[in-house]
Structure 1
């Protein structure tokens, strides 16, 4: 059973389009046009064209592309801000907010035409954001699933709480978890394919694969193809095995 997956995008539409091109190239070589493309979340924040990424994914989904678009913590922070900028984000440190430079929310708002969000009072920024962000984008991001099981793999943005059945996992863990998951070396019953924790390159740990290769920080965007538990990194030169 073949699946494709793409790591954290963070507003880089050019990298996303290239990742889709790599998948199209692999489809041509395999003759498989049915395997889904699973996007692991974090479509917004930090990058230059967050609006473009959301529009591309929403339009593709609407026209019936075989895409699965999972929710990331940055996507949830964005829609939470639109709902109520004073509403606490359970996964975020209390001394931070979505518009803090470390989170990159201002870049998202700038892509929707709301400038200088970090330097102005929150009330007008929020009002402008609500006016500028299409309802279709907000609804699309809010309605994203948080996990997807296919074959021998579970796909999720951040990871899972080990030992908890998938149907009982908390959304905050699925989009935020690091401690308690990254250091757990047990087999979870399936290969966990995730992003969220930025690395220099996609890495296979045996029980999980992290494909967040730091597109948010100037790195590449990783696309992989998975067959059973076999993982290959897709490149311009073709498949490269990704092994523990």
Structure 2
């Protein structure tokens, strides 16, 4: 059972297109046009073209591509801002807001042509965003699923709370969890493929696979292919197996 997956995109359309080219090349080698591609969330923020990323994903799904797109915490923050400029995601410190420069919301608004973000009130930004962000983008963000399961592999943005069945997981954990999940060595009953916490290279820890390699911080966007219990990173030279570290 073959599944492709792409890490946190963070508004980098060029890197996303390059990842899909690598997947297309691998498909051609193995002769499989039907295997799904799972995008692990954090589609927007920090990078220069969040709008382009959403257009690319919407067009691919509308064209019938077997693409699964999951919700990340940044995607939820964007959707919540479009609904209410005073919204504050429970995963954020009280002192932060989605439009804060270090979170990347300002870059997302700029991709829609919204200017002078630091000098304006949230109400004004929201009013312009409501006019400039296409309704199909807002609807797409609101409808994103939090998880996807295929065989013995579970895909989520941040991770899961250990010991809790997948169907009982809280959205806040699926989008934000770190330490309690990252530090837990137990078998979760499936390989958990996730992003959210950047690593230098995609890393297989035995019970989980982290594929966020820091595209939002100017580093690489990683694409992988999973077949049964084996995982490979896709690159210009084809497949490189990712061997579990434990």
Q: Same fold (TM over 0.5)?
A: yes
> TM class, shorter-chain normalised?
over 0.9
Deviates more, 1:76-85 or 1:115-124: 115-124
Partner Cα distance (1:147, 1:174) in 2: 8
- Structure-2 residue corresponding to 1:229: 229
* SS state at 1:199 partner: coil
Residue aligned with 2:180, SS: coil
Ranges of 4+ aligned residues in structure 1 off by more than 2 Å: none
String of CA shifts for 1:58-91, please: whole Å, max 9, x gaps: 1111121100000000000001001111122111
CA shift at 1:148, angstroms?
A: 0.4
Range moving further from structure 2, 102-111 or 81-90: 81-90
The separation in 2 between residues aligned to 1:63 and 1:31, in whole angstroms, is 20
- 42-51 vs 93-102, greater mean Cα deviation: 93-102
The CA distance in 2 between the partners of 1:119 and 1:241, in whole Å, is: 48
* RMSD, matched Cα: 0.8
In structure 1, C-alpha distance between the alignment counterparts of 2:116 and 2:198, rounded to whole Å: 26
Partner of 2:181: 181
Q: Which runs of 5+ in 2 are unaligned?
A: none
8 Å CA contact 1:106, 1:116 repeated in 2: no
* Alpha-carbon distance in structure 2 between the residues aligned to 1:212 and 1:131: 32
Cα separation, 2, equivalents of 1:206 and 1:169: 21
Q: TM-score, normalised by structure 2?
A: 0.98
Moved more, 116-125 or 99-108: 116-125
Contact map agreement 2:86 2:122 (CA 8 A) in 1: no
| Cα displacement (A) at 1:158 | 0.4
In structure 1, the residue matched to 2:42 is 42
* Structure 2 residue 194 is matched with structure 1 residue 209: no
- Deviation string 1:80-133 (CA, Å, 9 cap, x unpaired) is 001111122111111111011220000000000111222311111110011110
Q: Is contact 1:161-1:173 (8 Å) kept?
A: yes
1:79 maps to which residue? 79
* SS, match of residue 209 in structure 2: strand
Distance (Å, rounded) in 1 between the aligned partners of 2:136 and 2:229: 36
2:159 maps to what in 1? 159
**Structure-1 residue corresponding to 2:102:** 102
Aligned to 2:123: 123
**Alpha-carbon distance between aligned partners in 2 of 1:230 and 1:119, rounded to the nearest angstrom:** 50
Distance of 1:86 and 1:5 partners within structure 2: 34
CA deviation vs aligned residue, 1:5-27 (integer Å, no higher than 9, x gap): 00000010010001000000000
Aligned position for 1:70: 70
